[in-house]
Amino acid sequence: MDAIWNILWSIITFYDFLLIRIVIVLVLMLLTAAYLVFFERKISAWAQNRIGPNRVGWRGSLQSFADVFKLLFKEDIVPDNANRKIHALAPIISLFVAFTTYAVIPIGPEITIAGYKIPLVIANVNIGILYILALTSLGVYSITFAGWSSGSKYSLLGGIRSSAQMISYEISMGFSVGGVILLAQSLRPMAIVEAQSGWMWNIFIQPIGFITFLVASFAETNRLPFDLPEAEPELVGGYHTEYSSMKFAAFFLAEYANMLIASALIVTLYLGGWQIPYIETFGLSSGLVIALQVLAFIIKVGILLFFFIWVRWTVPRFRYDQLMSLGWKVMFPLSLLNIVWVAILIMFFKL
268-307 residue pLDDT tens: 999 988 888 888 777 778 888 888 999 999 999 999 999 9
Domain count, the chain: 1
Give residue 264's pLDDT.
Answer: 93
List, for residues 169-209, the tens digit of each pLDDT value. 888 898 999 999 999 888 999 999 999 888 889 999 999 99
Q: Is 290 within a domain?
A: yes
Q: Is 255 within a domain?
A: yes
List, for residues 210-258, the tens digit of each pLDDT value. 999 999 999 888 887 888 777 666 666 778 788 888 888 888 888 888 8
Give residue 6's pLDDT.
Answer: 54
Give residue 351's pLDDT.
Answer: 67
Work out the percent of the chain whose per-residue pLDDT is above 70: 91
Model confidence band, residue 3 (pLDDT cutoffs 50, 70, 90): low
Rounded Cα distance between 26 and 314, Å, is: 31
Region 1-5 average pLDDT: 55
Give residue 267's pLDDT.
Answer: 95
Tell me the CA distances in angstroms from 292 to 24, 61, 109, 274, one per residue in order: 19, 27, 11, 9
Model confidence band, residue 322 (pLDDT cutoffs 50, 70, 90): confident
3-state SS, residue 109: strand
Q: Is 223 within a domain?
A: yes
CA dihedral 27, 33, 35, 37 (to 10 degrees): -160
Q: Is 208 within a domain?
A: yes
Tell me the CA distances in angstroms from 307 to 48, 205, 302, 310, one per residue in order: 16, 22, 9, 5
Give residue 14's pLDDT.
Answer: 54
For residue 225, say if its preceding peptide bond is cis, omega within 30 degrees of 0.
yes
| pLDDT above 80: residue 138 | yes
Give residue 334's pLDDT.
Answer: 93
Rounded Cα distance between 253 and 261, Å, is: 12
Q: What are phi and psi of 112, to 5 degrees?
A: -115, 120
3-state SS, residue 80: coil
Give residue 140's pLDDT.
Answer: 84
Q: Is 193 within a domain?
A: yes
Q: Is 139 within a domain?
A: yes
pTM of the entire structure?
0.90
Judge contact between 317 and 228, C-beta under 8 A.
Answer: yes
Region 116-134 average pLDDT: 83
Rounded Cα distance between 113 and 280, Å, is: 21
Q: Is 55 within a domain?
A: no
Q: Is 200 within a domain?
A: yes
List, for residues 40-95, the tens digit of each pLDDT value. 989 989 988 888 888 888 888 888 888 888 888 888 888 888 888 998 899 898 88
Rounded Cα distance between 101 and 56, Å, is: 32
Q: What is the DSSP letter of 275?
A: -
Judge contact between 149 and 82, C-beta under 8 A.
Answer: yes
Q: Give the distance, in angstroms, between the CA of residue 288 and the centroid of all CA atoms in the same chain.
A: 28
Q: Which of 134, 266, 271 is nearest to 213 (CA)?
A: 266
Give residue 181's pLDDT.
Answer: 92
| pLDDT above 80: residue 97 | yes
Q: What residues form DSSP beta bridges with 42?
A: none
Distant-in-sequence contacts of 22-27, Cβ < 8 A, 24+ apart: 22/122, 25/102, 25/103, 25/122, 26/99
| pLDDT above 70: residue 314 | yes
Domain that holds residue 344: 2-47+61-349
Rounded Cα distance between 177 and 129, Å, is: 8
Give residue 23's pLDDT.
Answer: 80
Give residue 269's pLDDT.
Answer: 94
Rounded Cα distance between 55 and 45, Å, is: 14
Q: What are phi and psi of 318, to 5 degrees?
A: -75, 160
**DSSP character string of 156-213:** HHHHHHHHHHHHHHHHHHHHHHHHHHHHHT-S-HHHHHHTT-TT--HHHH-HHHHHHH
112: region left, alpha or beta (phi > 0 left; psi from -120 to 50 alpha): beta
Query: What is the torsional sign of CA 75, 253, 136, 239?
Result: positive
| pLDDT above 70: residue 20 | yes
